[in-house]
Amino acid sequence: MPLRLLALTIDADDPVGLSEFWRAVLDWGRVDRPDGVPTLQPQDDTGFLLRFPPTDAPNERPHQVHLDLTSTSLEDQQGRVALALSLGATHLDVGQRPEEGHVVLADPEGNEFCVLGPDNRFLAGCPLLGALAGDGTAAVGRFWSAALGWPLVWDQDEETAIQSPHGGPKITWGGPPVLPKHGKNRLHLDLEAARGDGMVEVEVDRLVALGATRVDIGQGEVAHVVLADPDGNEFCVHPASD
């Protein structure tokens, strides 16, 4: 049984403050978790959670992953940008061109995100949180397709994208060159194994066979296993929750 994408985890200097920013921007609800980590969930209960654990590591840009938000009209796009700016976001210049039709921002802790224009056809039908987008080789897109059991919805010119068969946000990779890493990624995926004794190790063995590697980021004795995908991006495999 393929793994379930449980959450996108965003390490935060101020977990409560950053989660409040994204709660307001996305209009998501809060979830009470046993570990106390601020966690958000879509109102329609589709997609995955956003988690904001604390960190004291420096936040160095550029990051390997950013969020793409969709819009339904130019007014909606402008309103979404204005809301984000009022909550502490800032404009960011990453070399984007005006004709590309999207606005690049950074959240209050410097994490990049884009508010796309209404004419973006690639994310047509996706929710407000339309995609997790970033650098990545075609090989890593195929790795994640096999890891999650999500079909490739784009595989052309070294660019790949996957999406759950049930819809929701896409995960996209723009092909090489891949930006260099600056220590542990600020954003990473948390996966959940199926319920049952030994299922975490079963899935870890399967992922290693697909090209993942075990990594030590100082996690110590924990119930989950930390791996890196073929491009070196960390992710975690957790046992099924009660």
Question: Measured between alpha carbons, how far is 39 from 29 in angstroms, rounded to an integer?
Answer: 9
What pLDDT is attached to residue 101? 78
Nearest to 191 by CA among 153, 233, 157: 233
The domains located in the chain, with CATH, are: 4-173 (3.10.180.10)
Give CA–CA dist 2/143, Å, rounded: 12
pLDDT at residue number 144: 97
User: What pLDDT is recorded for position 117?
Assistant: 94
Note the pLDDT of residue 33. 85
Q: Judge if pTM exceeds 0.95.
A: no
pLDDT (0 to 100) of residue 214: 95
119-171 tens-digit pLDDT: 999 999 999 999 999 889 999 999 999 999 999 999 999 999 999 999 999 99
Q: pLDDT at position 242, please?
A: 63
Low pLDDT (below 50) residues in the chain:
none
Q: What is the pLDDT of residue 80?
A: 97
β-strand partners of 67: 113, 132
Residues 104 and 117: their CA atoms lie apart, in Å, by: 11
User: Using CA of residue 73, residue 67, residue 18, residue 51, what is the dihedral sign?
Assistant: positive
